[in-house]
């Protein structure tokens, strides 16, 4: 087993990996940019190295710097988390050259699956159904227009190197195509340093179901059942759960088998995920394979009891998987809500800033994977994720009730968060009934929300008025003695009952 | 103290009187409400209205409030009556409709218009990136770009003036 | 099912019950003393009623007040938590008279099991082995001396109405007997309004193992396996775990069966616990039955997935148990550490006070049941418990590693806590090996701790020195301009590099 | 700044110099240590000593410190050199050995001695209850009870003088 691991990431996922290492007795090395000096990952690690300015392209994305720190610190392995260098085959190549173990699949597996077009080709060849579309990146604007018209609108533009909703645009009609293409390419360029995009037919009312996989160097594979991630905004997952309400045992077994075949085709090692779109008739189409730890891995951990990060580390060290397929049990139901520093009432605009107070939920069946603390300034440079809140219940009903309970306990002030949004989703009839698809948030939820009557307007107004009242009095108290500093004005104040106490 | 609350189109008169330690009588349009209110954590209040218990998060900037109760967000303005009278008299507060401001801290990625250019209402005029997402900001009104206050590549604060359309 | 429940308690256990109610969609009524206005249980409840001054005997223990609030609020049932009125048969009687459902066993079960002497008699009659000693409270001081000499020292003095280590004293030799008796009686009097005590033979090197039970009104019983609670200080449990390292499957089945028989003998309803002492040869002796929800119930919830509080509420509403014995599975291993506001380095002296900062641990397998928040003043009037931290792992090794990891993440400042103590226990070789008894903390652990070398004295000294340095400079900055308010002195300061920044 | 640290019987000389933003050179008995130290939450510090990362909780009252690192508690005093010189000259700090003080806030349940009574070292003299646990406090020295400052039933603060044995 490794004695020391470098975690080439920040925020909640760096903390997640640090926790696994600490529990395994492995020493940890954190890297941090100038704005992250006080971040939790720096404080939880055994060692921490500064790697440059805030911009990720000058710090967390610089391969040379990460490799240099790994060597200086004597780290034998690097865990890339998700994002940043996690699916960068050049980084995987470099680690191999430098004889540092990258905790993840081979560069070959990354390249094959990382290019969505090659991945589609590979999987299609193995007989797995894929969504109609191009299998090559599209070179010119003319081609984009031509192919889009061939497949027929609506179409999806997707970054070849993409992930996490970046570089992705839904185009409903030809008039939107040009500007969407520009945005998708520009986002792709800045997120992945690669602006190539491809086109897919857009499937109406699809549900997003994915299979979590683990593989080792010895050719063993297990799947850890499915997660459903249909609750999305801007094509980015915000709520995930396991099991999925639409997946039957037969479907689970079939999808698991297909996913393992896909993994086997690239001799996949470590943790990975095959994503599928499922249409209204429960047909599933391979979408892509994520060759990294997923943001939403905790829901699978909650229902299976398997620590996916520890398994990643073990197989990277050459060990065999500690579980066989028949040991995998999906017990109860887990839901994850991604808590972002965003304003859900203003189209999820990012709201970085200082966390002025924080109260995390606790009690039975609740897990919070957080990267912030009271007094932390959420930087503008990175993903605005605050934490991932996960609730487990013996069934979906209990999991939803528990999640709602935990969300109402969760207090984050100073920045706007998606917590209120999640509470409203947990209260939504369609969500509770399991009746939704990937368009649910944009198309159904917000419309229903607009019509909902709010109950406590009086209490809101009363409390705000009291706060204003006290603030005004405080200001008055602070100014008055200075302005007319005579004893008379002081006396005048002190005779008004109750005033002094609270000034 | 007397305040004017504005909720959507509706205006209400609000007054606050302290009746004891952490106890208040708040009158809204003539109806008195007695509450026991404690500020327990930063902007979070524990309010007992009668015996009903509420946790209330009051986020307010200037006179604009967003109040959270059990995941519901109540938006309104609340202004001291005298202050409002003063502002009305001074005639402030008219401008700003045509000003495009940054809704979050971020970096100006691209200007989509030039000074003097005609724009339509809802036309994208500038792209601001925050946390790796690009956000195209639109002009609320049709008109001519009067002034651009930022350059491409510039880092801007939340609320920063970006450009003015008239 | 009930529509509204009153929770006649405070702190973490009130919060625990509130969480269950909220998840079940039941409205909640909190009661609070004058010092608890801002406490979490008041804020998490739907309604909250003031019931008097801080002293429990004027608030949380006053039956009339609790009943009055239940009626005023329209609560159909009362959950008493643990402590306070939880095992008070007069309260149970009163609830019955008033037609309010008490979530707990009948007054008869409480009376039988609540008197340790009657309980011993009852169980002994059924052939269950009990520890040698008196079965009646002892009337006079002379009798105490006579019986103690008959059984032979060491003996335990125990309050007949006792629990939680209160009114309990170990007496090793005759000379200590008189003062110990006085203390035990006085504590028993103030804690339970009943100063009667009895004597038991003290079993050397015993381990404390208990069986969690559930029973319903329809005569169904299940046991939820064992917890081991041998890590105690002052005869009070501080660390609990499930399973116990010394319990074999056969022993588990046998103890479970005996415990169910004990429960059946009093037609026990709800959640209860049979406590046993286990000697070095794995003989087990019935100690007592706790007729309430135990502090340490979460470890059982973590390994069985059963929400004990919800089951309590369901059976109190007349429903049948939702689980059969064959459904109960003990999966993995869970450990609980009770985090108290106490100074472990000064004989666990209580340290009430203001919690100036708080960071709760998170991540996989961690549950925190807390009753405090940042800014809360822990009152001097009640148990100094801050929270119960529970870690689950696939085996004991992982649970210990995870607990240690979680404890080092846990930050509570402003009051001293037992967190450092727990970290040291998790690092202790004997604890890791499972080699301990109820005397471990007092007899072994602290001696070993004294000999342990600390590693980071330099870092401690350096950091304290920096803090003093900055504080002194701050004070100097604040005073100087006022004392000699001329521009010269200001100028003098401002030329010293770096000073202004940090003032 | 120069300080004297006292750890058990041992005395060390400590000096602190600021070398940059949140960077310090701390010398202990002549050996210089360079650290990067940020106060991140109340009394909690994030310290990078070289590249090794520590979370350090510094609880200090007057000159007495209890510092927590990974569950280990380091106790010592740290005093400004000049201040210590002054105190030594003034001859303060001798008394207090025979004073029984309350180690926690609580209520005096029982006085076990009367004024004028002879007590042995380690003899219980007073019972203080906090959070329903009774704590018998002992006299550190043998002698006579000179003065009792509290009554039974009285609520006392942490550190309150209870009685004096001479």
Span C413-464, pLDDT tens digits: 999 999 999 999 999 999 999 999 999 999 999 999 999 999 999 999 999 9
Q: Measured between alpha carbons, how far is residue A100 from residues A6, A48, A73, A95, C133 in Å? A: 10, 18, 12, 5, 66
- Regarding an ipTM greater than 0.85, the answer is no
| Phi, psi angle pair for D66, to nearest 5° | -130, 115
Of A46, A374, A375, nearest to D53 by CB-CB distance is A46
Residue of A nearest to C403 (CA): A23
Of A414, A423, A467, nearest to B70 by CB-CB distance is A423
CB-based contact, B9 to chain A, within 8 Å: no
Residue C427's SS3 state is helix
Query: Is it the case that residue A241 has pLDDT exceeding 50?
Result: yes
In this predicted structure, what is the pLDDT of residue D31? 96
Residue A321's SS3 state is coil
Please name the residues in contact with A207: beta carbons below 8 A apart, sequence gap of 6 or more: A228, A230, A244, A246, A277, A278, A279, A436, A437, A438
Residue B118, in any domain of the structure = yes
In this predicted structure, what is the pLDDT of residue B88? 67
Report chain B residues whose CB lies below 8 A from the CB of C73.
51
Residue of B nearest to A454 (CA): B72
In this predicted structure, what is the pLDDT of residue A490? 35
Contact (CB, 8 A) for C87 and C111: no
CB-based contact, B68 to chain C, within 8 Å: no
Provide the shortest C-alpha distance from residue C16 to chain A (in Å): 7
Of C25, C332, C401, nearest to A305 by CB-CB distance is C332
Residue of B nearest to A346 (CA): B103
Based on the fold, state whether residues B120 and B58 are members of the same structural domain.
no
Based on the fold, state whether residues D62 and D111 are members of the same structural domain.
no
Q: Report CB contact under 8 Å: A47, D41.
A: no
Q: Which of A133-137, A464-468, C494-498 is the most confident on average?
A: A464-468
The Cα–Cα gap between A186 and A192 comes to: 10
Provide the shortest C-alpha distance from residue C386 to chain B (in Å): 18
Based on the fold, state whether residues B65 and B133 are members of the same structural domain.
no
In this predicted structure, what is the pLDDT of residue B155? 86
Q: Report CB contact under 8 Å: C458, D58.
A: no
Of B36, B40, B52, nearest to C46 by CB-CB distance is B52
Both structure tokens of A383: 């993903």
CB-based contact, D81 to chain C, within 8 Å: no
Q: Report CB contact under 8 Å: D46, A30.
A: no
What is the per-residue burial (b if ≥16 Cβ within 10 Å, else e) of A293-310?
bbbbbbbbbbbbbbbbbb
Residue B84, in any domain of the structure = no
Based on the fold, state whether residues B98 and B74 are members of the same structural domain.
no
Both structure tokens of D75: 């106790």
Q: Report CB contact under 8 Å: C45, B53.
A: yes
Of D45, D67, D73, nearest to C345 by CB-CB distance is D73
CB-based contact, D52 to chain A, within 8 Å: yes
pLDDT in tens, D13-58: 999 999 999 999 999 999 999 999 999 988 999 999 999 999 999 9
CB-based contact, D43 to chain A, within 8 Å: no
pLDDT in tens, A51-101: 999 999 999 999 999 999 999 999 999 999 999 999 999 999 999 999 999
Contact (CB, 8 A) for B127 and B110: yes
Both structure tokens of D47: 């310290």
> Taking the model in full, what pTM does it have?
0.85
In this predicted structure, what is the pLDDT of residue A257? 94
Q: Which of C269, C265, C272 is nearest to C317 (CA)?
A: C269
The Cα–Cα gap between C376 and C389 comes to: 19
Residue range A319-340: mean pLDDT, rounded: 97
In this predicted structure, what is the pLDDT of residue A477? 81
Residue B106, in any domain of the structure = yes
Q: Which of A32, A22, A29, A68 is nearest to A52 (CA)?
A: A32
In this predicted structure, what is the pLDDT of residue C499? 32
In this predicted structure, what is the pLDDT of residue A501? 32
pLDDT in tens, C47-104: 999 999 999 999 999 999 999 999 999 999 999 999 999 999 999 999 999 999 999 9
Of residues D134 and A386, more confidently modeled: A386
Based on the fold, state whether residues B95 and B74 are members of the same structural domain.
no
The Cα–Cα gap between C28 and C44 comes to: 9
CB-based contact, B80 to chain A, within 8 Å: yes
CATH of the domain at D136: 2.40.50.100
H/E/C letters for each residue in A61-95?
A: CCHHHHHHHHHHHCCCEEECCCCCCCCCHHHHHHH
- Single out the residue in B22, B52, B79 at which a domain terminates: B79
| Of A121-125, C296-300, C388-392, the least confident | A121-125
- Single out the residue in D47, D79, D111 at which a domain terminates: D79
| Of B69-78, C211-220, C455-464, D127-136, the least confident | D127-136
Residue D85, in any domain of the structure = no
CATH of the domain at B54: 3.30.700.30
Please name the residues in contact with A438: beta carbons below 8 A apart, sequence gap of 6 or more: A205, A206, A207, A208, A230, A232, A235
| Phi, psi angle pair for A325, to nearest 5° | -55, -40
In this predicted structure, what is the pLDDT of residue C480? 57
Residue D10, in any domain of the structure = yes
Based on the fold, state whether residues B100 and B160 are members of the same structural domain.
yes
Place of tokens 């109760």: B69
Residue D98, in any domain of the structure = yes
Based on the fold, state whether residues B45 and B10 are members of the same structural domain.
yes
The Cα–Cα gap between D65 and A230 comes to: 54
Q: Residues C94, C292, C367, C424: which is the catalytic one?
A: C292
H/E/C letters for each residue in A117-169?
A: HHHHHHHHHCCCCECCECCCCCCCHHHHHHHHHHHCCCEEEEEEEEECCEEEE
Based on the fold, state whether residues D7 and D43 are members of the same structural domain.
yes
The band of B95, judged by pLDDT with boundaries at 50, 70 and 90, is very low
pLDDT in tens, A357-382: 999 999 999 999 999 999 999 999 99
Instruction: Output the DSSP codes for C69-85.
Output: HHHHHT-SEEE--SSTT
Residue range A394-402: mean pLDDT, rounded: 98
Active site residues of A: 292
In this predicted structure, what is the pLDDT of residue B89? 58
Query: Is it the case that residue C500 has pLDDT exceeding 50?
Result: no
Q: Report CB contact under 8 Å: D60, C166.
A: no
The Cα–Cα gap between A145 and A199 comes to: 10
Based on the fold, state whether residues D62 and D103 are members of the same structural domain.
no
Which domain, by its residues, includes D140? 91-165
In which element (H, E) is residue C352 found? none
Residue of C nearest to A25 (CA): C401
- Single out the residue in B21, B54, B79 at which a domain terminates: B79
Q: Report CB contact under 8 Å: C373, B40.
A: yes
Of C346, C414, C424, nearest to D71 by CB-CB distance is C424
Contact (CB, 8 A) for D26 and D13: no
Whether omega for the bond prior to residue C96 falls within 30 degrees of 0, making it cis, is no
Number of folded domains that form chain D: 2
pLDDT in tens, A338-360: 999 999 988 899 999 999 999 99
The band of D76, judged by pLDDT with boundaries at 50, 70 and 90, is very high
CB-based contact, B46 to chain C, within 8 Å: yes
In this predicted structure, what is the pLDDT of residue C479? 66
Residue range A430-439: mean pLDDT, rounded: 96
The Cα–Cα gap between C422 and C407 comes to: 8
In this predicted structure, what is the pLDDT of residue A497? 35
What beta strand segments (E) does A362-404 contain? Answer: 366-370, 377-378, 385-393
In this predicted structure, what is the pLDDT of residue A285? 93
Share of chain A above pLDDT 90, in %: 73
Q: Which of A226-230, C116-120, C187-191 is the most confident on average?
A: A226-230
Does residue C169 have an active-site annotation? Answer: no
Report chain D residues whose CB lies below 8 A from the CB of C455.
72
Residue range C154-175: mean pLDDT, rounded: 85
Q: Report CB contact under 8 Å: D103, C346.
A: yes
Report chain B residues whose CB lies below 8 A from the CB of C44.
53
Based on the fold, state whether residues D98 and D120 are members of the same structural domain.
yes
Residue B54, in any domain of the structure = yes
Based on the fold, state whether residues B157 and B100 are members of the same structural domain.
yes
The band of D89, judged by pLDDT with boundaries at 50, 70 and 90, is low
Based on the fold, state whether residues D43 and D99 are members of the same structural domain.
no
The Cα–Cα gap between A41 and A35 comes to: 12
Residue B85, in any domain of the structure = no
* Strand partners for D55: D46
Q: Report CB contact under 8 Å: D51, A42.
A: no
């Amino acid at each position: 087993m490794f004695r020391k691991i470098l975690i080439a990431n920040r925020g909640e996922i760096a903390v997640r990996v640090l926790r696994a290492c600490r529990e395994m007795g492995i020493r940890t090395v954190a890297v941090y940019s100038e704005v992250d000096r006080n971040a939790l990952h720096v404080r939880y690690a055994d060692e921490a190295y500064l790697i440059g300015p805030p911009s990720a392209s000058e710090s967390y994305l610089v391969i040379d710097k990460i490799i240099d720190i790994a060597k200086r610190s004597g780290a034998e392995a690097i865990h890339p988390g998700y994002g940043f260098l996690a699916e960068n085959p050049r980084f995987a190549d470099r680690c191999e050259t430098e004889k540092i173990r990258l905790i993840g699949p081979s560069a070959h597996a990354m390249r094959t699956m990382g290019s969505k077009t090659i991945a589609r080709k590979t999987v299609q060849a193995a007989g797995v159904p894929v969504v109609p579309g191009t299998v090559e990146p599209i070179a010119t604007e003319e081609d984009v227009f031509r192919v889009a018209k061939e497949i027929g609108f609506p179409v999806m533009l997707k970054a070849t190197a993409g992930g996490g909703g970046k570089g992705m645009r839904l185009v409903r009609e030809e008039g939107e195509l040009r500007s969407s293409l520009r945005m998708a390419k520009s986002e792709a360029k800045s997120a992945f340093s690669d602006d190539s995009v491809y086109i897919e037919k857009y499937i109406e009312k699809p549900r997003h179901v994915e299979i979590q996989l683990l593989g080792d160097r010895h050719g063993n594979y297990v799947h850890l059942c499915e997660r459903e991630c249909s609750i999305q905004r801007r094509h980015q997952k915000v709520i995930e759960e396991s099991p999925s309400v639409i997946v039957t045992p037969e479907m689970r077994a079939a999808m698991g088998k297909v996913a393992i075949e896909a993994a086997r085709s690239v001799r996949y090692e470590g943790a990975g995920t095959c994503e599928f779109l499922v249409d209204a008739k429960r047909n599933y189409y391979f979408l892509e394979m994520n060759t990294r730890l997923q943001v939403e891995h905790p829901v699978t951990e909650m229902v299976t009891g398997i620590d996916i990060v520890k398994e990643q580390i073990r197989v990277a060290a050459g060990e065999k998987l500690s579980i066989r397929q028949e040991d995998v049990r999906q017990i109860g139901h887990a839901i994850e809500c991604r808590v972002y520093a965003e304003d859900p009432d203003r189209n999820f605009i990012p709201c970085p800033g200082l966390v002025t107070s924080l109260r995390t939920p606790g009690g039975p069946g609740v897990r919070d994977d957080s990267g912030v603390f009271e007094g932390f300034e959420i930087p503008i440079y990175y993903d605005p994720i605050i934490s991932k809140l996960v609730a487990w219940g013996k069934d979906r009903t209990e999991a939803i009730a528990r999640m709602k309970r935990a969300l109402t306990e969760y207090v984050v002030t100073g920045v706007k968060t998606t917590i209120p949004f999640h509470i409203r989703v947990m209260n939504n009839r369609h969500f509770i009934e399991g009746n939704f698809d990937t368009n649910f948030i944009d198309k159904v939820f917000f419309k229903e929300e607009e019509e909902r009557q709010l109950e406590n307007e009086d209490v809101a107004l009363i409390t705000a008025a009291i706060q204003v009242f006290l603030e005004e009095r405080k200001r008055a108290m602070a100014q008055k003695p200075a302005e007319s500093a005579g004893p008379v004005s002081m006396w005048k104040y002190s005779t008004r009952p109750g005033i002094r106490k609270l000034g | 103290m007397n305040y004017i609350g504005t909720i959507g189109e509706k205006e209400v008169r609000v007054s606050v009187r302290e009746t004891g330690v952490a106890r208040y009588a708040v009158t809204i349009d003539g109806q008195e409400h007695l509450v026991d209110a404690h500020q327990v954590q930063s902007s979070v209040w524990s309010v007992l209205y009668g015996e009903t218990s509420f946790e209330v998060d009051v986020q307010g900037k200037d006179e604009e409030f967003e109040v959270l109760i059990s995941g519901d967000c109540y938006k309104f303005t609340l202004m001291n009556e005298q202050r409002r009278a003063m502002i009305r008299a001074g005639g402030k507060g008219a401008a700003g409709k045509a000003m495009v401001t940054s809704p979050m801290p971020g970096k100006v990625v691209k200007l989509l218009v030039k000074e003097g250019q005609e724009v339509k209402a809802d036309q994208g005029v500038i792209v601001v990136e925050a946390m790796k997402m690009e956000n195209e900001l639109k002009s609320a009104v049709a008109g001519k770009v009067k002034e651009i206050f930022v350059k491409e590549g510039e880092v801007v604060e939340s609320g920063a003036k970006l450009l003015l359309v008239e």
